[in-house]
Each structure stands twice: as structure tokens, then as C-alpha cells.
Chain A
Amino acid sequence: MLEQTAPLLSIKDLQSWYGESHILHGVNFEVREGEVVTLLGRNGAGKTTTMKSVMGIVGARTGSIKFAGTETIGMVPEKIARLGIAFCPEERGIFASLDVEENLLLPPQVQPGGLSLDRIFELFPNLKERLGSSQGTKLSGGEQQMLAIGRILRTGAKLLLLDEPTEGLAPVIIQQIGRTIRTLKERGFTILLVEQNFRFAATVADRHYVMENGKVVDQFNNSELDANVDKLHDYLGV
């Protein structure tokens, strides 16, 4: 079934640099509409850089990144975002000079059909209670992560890039984030997820790509994960 849908995001021979450092050396993969796909790999494998390359916020990049058929490799970040891609960074990017509500309402609507605030509060009831809080950065780590995900759901973006959304969070919060990702998939969002924790990835994703030294070196369907656990342990060095 999935094989027949056109890729929403298609990356070919992507190379990226930060200043003089050459980080990505020819990344190839694709994400089809409605899929949840993870990028697995060790620290420094190039997962985050791949996401930032999609958003256009690395130093320089070459190759091809097509979103819904549109080539974005030469576009500035604000234009890429307007196509309907939203990014939730690893460090969460909550703004200290904005209160919780301002943080939530900051990203502008880029496409029609974003979730309403009520729907977002259904997913993250804690956020509603914290609306009156003064500073976004005074929230707990889990609440900050919910705020970081919640705010990009309003924008109408169809492709969500979530960079390690479970990092440093308590198990109960990780479960909540996992439920949220599954709900978002049901709502028709396409999600690219960066993870170090493949146990968590297995609970939400359709497919996995493994990255090493700035390249995609392997891929599995989620159903094949169990058969490849030893190989994955090798790749991730756990």
C-alpha cells in the first residue's frame, strides 16, 4: 500500500557543510506521505544536520531535497517553512523572552488546516494549565518539549521534523510523546524523527534509516526490526 504513494520528501546525494567542516557526504532517502520515519545513528552521524539541511539552516548544501515535488535546495529557510515543513529542534528552542502563550503562538500559519488550540490542548493538557506562566523556559523539560511540538502543529505544516523529542525525559513523558506521534500520524501528518533510542522509535515508526559518518547506510521496515537487533546494536554502539 505505502509503496504506491509518491514520496513527500525525497533527498538525493545531499552534502552539507558547517563552515569548513563537511558533515553530510551524499545522503539519500525518502519519506512518503503519512509515514513516520526515523533516522537512527550515533552522535555525530549527521542526523540533526540532515534535518537542518531540509530546513535550509546549515552553512551550505548541495544535492537535491524535493518536498511534494518542489526542489528546495536553493531556497531560504523562511520559504522552505512556508511550503509546509515544520521543525522541532533538539534543544527545543523555547524562547526565554516570550511567555508560554507567546511561544505557542509564535510560528505563523504557513498552510491552511493546522490544528486548533483546543486540539493541541487535548494532546497536551499540561500546556493549557501553563498558559499563564511567565517565561517559556521556566517550564519543566517535558512541558517544554510539549510546547515545542504543540506550537508547530498550529502552522498547517504537513511534514514535521522532530529532533530527539524524547531526549532527557522521564519514561511517563516519553510514553505521552509516543502516543502523540501516533495520534498525529492518524491525523495525516508525515513525520521524520531523529532518535538514538530505537526501542522508542519502534513504538511509533513505519520505517527506519540508519546513518553513519554523514551517510545513510541501512534501512529497515519496522516489522524487520526484531530480526536486525544485533545489527542495530552494532550501528548504535549500545
Chain B
Amino acid sequence: MFELCLPAILGGKCIPSAALFGQLLIGLINGSFYALLSLGLAVIFGMLNIINFTHGAQYMLGAFTAYIILQKTGLGYWPALIIAPLIVGVLGIIIERTMLQWLYKLDHLYGLLLTFGVALIIEGIVRNEYGSAGLPYTLPDSLRGGQNLGFMFLPNYRAWVVGASLVVCFGTWFVIERTRLGAYLRAATENPTLVRAFGINVPRMITLTYGFGVALAAFAGVMAAPIYNVSPQMGAELIIVVFAVVVIGGMGSILGAILTGFGLGVIEGLTKVFFPEASNTVIFVIMAIVLLVRPAGLFGRRA
């Protein structure tokens, strides 16, 4: 064990390394959820031009769906991790087909209001059914326990969350930026009319994109279930920070959403070590500064 000290000008505070790395890990975990959620928001905004305020509710719905699968069907953690996002993704597709598709030609405000309303309805229904107290979510045996790394203790589940989130985020980035399907998506984001005139079914691509973005949120929810409480307001609490992350990264930038998600999680964790008082506000302070200096966000492209 060793200690890390801030320079005297910043107060000269000394921190044991275990505390530092512990908070760094918590920062990475939070960052994993910020990245998964802001990635979904960025993908949806790029294709649909809609700021999906239902995202937090869909994250919560992922956790609840997995909880119900575990309780009612006896299927294990791993099937629930796959099935819950699929179910929530299909619910998202239904929302897109029945409601969102009528709003694409209107101002952003309408999509924002509609998705915000849908979020309130979903949260209300879940609260009515399950109450607002948190529900426990059990871990599979394979993910219990942890590794002693010498300078800190690394719980297996937390390592799994960070690893899986990295794989899913960069997998999504790869598909969008480096494959034929991704070229269709990028082209349709730029000029949907011309892409349709080439014979590509853009409306179906938009529907599937929304379903995918929503499934990403639900996936984050299932991953979060064993760490945080499964409760109806779990999404509403997180989504405010995620929107700040999206604003900092720049709306519609895939890599920007991932990097700022992880980066801000880590910054938040470090702030908890050195200036605990500021840890809840540091992201919003960064957001304000970024908005002043680069209104389009760190990775945003000015149209």
C-alpha cells in the first residue's frame, strides 16, 4: 500500500492507493453505464432526429424485465441478459411504429415531449405494480467473488460490467463506422431521401435503429441491476447525468458518446476521492464549461 498526495497548491491531501483505485473502479463502472446509455441516445438522435427522453425508463424496464424473468421463469442471469433487452427493444419498435414515426418532420420539441410523457407513463405503471422500494437482484455464482490485485480488491462482477460495456460500445462503433451496414446508416443520417432512391429501405432501418438504441439502454439496465437497486426511479436518476454526458460529447457522435461516457465516469470517481463535496456536480460544471467553449460538444460536428 502506498499513498498519493495532491500538490500543496491543491490542498496537499493524501489518499491511500486502495481508496483511489476503488473510486477509479466505481468511476469506470458508472462510466460504463454512461457510455452505453449515451451511445444509444447518440445512435437514436443520429437516425431519428429525436432526443429520446424515454431512455431512462427503458433502462429501468430492462432491469425490471430481467428481474421478472428471473423470478417467474427461473431462467438464469445469462438468458435474462439477452432476452430482457430483446423484449424492451421490441417494445421500443412498437413505440416507434405507433408514435415516433409521425414526428420526424416536426420540431425536436415534439419528440422530446412525447418521449418524456412515455417515460412518465412507463415509470408510473412500474411504480404501481412494484412500489418504489428497491428489489434485490441475485448474481450468478460464476460472477461472485473477486481478485486481489495487490493494490486493490477487484470484484468479478464489476470487472465483467466494464469489460462487457467496452465490448458492446466498441462493437457498435465498429459496425457503424467500419461496415457496409454502418455506411448505409451514416448515409441515411445525412440524406435519407437519396439513400431511399438507391433502393434501401430507410424507414425500416430507422425502426430497427430505435429498437437497437432502446435495447442498449435495457442491456445497461440488466447489467446495473445487481449493482444498484432495481427500482422504478433508477432510470430517472441516471438519465439526467447521461444527458449532461451527451451534451459534453456532442449529440450524434458515436465515438464521442463512448469516450465521454467513460471519461466522465472516471472524472466523477476521482472527484469523489479528492473533493467529495463536488462529486455530484462536477459533470454539470464540465457541461457548462464545454457549452461555453464548444457549444456543439467535444466531438460534435457543426452542421
Contacts and interface: CB of A to CB of B under 8 A. Distances in A.
B180 interface: yes
A77 B193 contact: yes
Contacts of B191: 93, 95
Interface string B121-159: 000000000000000000000000000000000000000
Nearest to A109: B199
B198 to A, nearest CB: 4
How many A residues touch the partner, as a band? 20 to 34
Interface string B193-222: 111111111100000000000000000000
A93 B180 contact: no
Interface stretch (B165-173, B181-189, B240-248): B181-189
Nearest to A108: B199
Interface in A97-133: 97-98, 102, 105-108, 110
A46 B169 CA distance: 47
A77 B196 contact: yes
DSSP class of B's interface residues: helix, strand, loop or mixed?
helix
Contact of A97 (B189, B193, B197): B189
Contacts of A105: 180, 183
A98 B184 CA distance: 9
Nearest to B190: A95
B182 to A, nearest CB: 9
Given A102-B183, A105-B183, A106-B183, A78 B196 contact: yes
B194 A93 contact: yes
Given A95-B186, A98-B183, A89 B194 contact: yes
Contacts of B197: 55-57, 77-78, 80-81, 87
Interface in A72-97: 76-78, 80-82, 86-87, 89, 93, 95-97
A144 interface: no
Interface in B48-73: none
B189 A106 contact: no
A150 to B, nearest CB: 13
A155 interface: yes
Contacts of A78: 196-197, 199-202
A60 to B, nearest CB: 14
Q: Which interface residue of B183, B186, B190, B199 has the most chain A CB atoms within 10 A? A: B199
B180 A86 contact: no
A235 B38 CA distance: 56
Interface string B280-299: 00000000000000000000
List 10 A-B pairs, minimum CB-CB distance, nearest first: A81-B199, A107-B198, A77-B196, A97-B186, A102-B183, A93-B194, A55-B197, A110-B199, A95-B187, A82-B199
Interface of B: 180, 183-184, 186-187, 189-191, 193-202
10 contacts: A55-B197, A57-B194, A57-B197, A78-B202, A86-B198, A96-B190, A97-B186, A106-B187, A106-B198, A110-B199
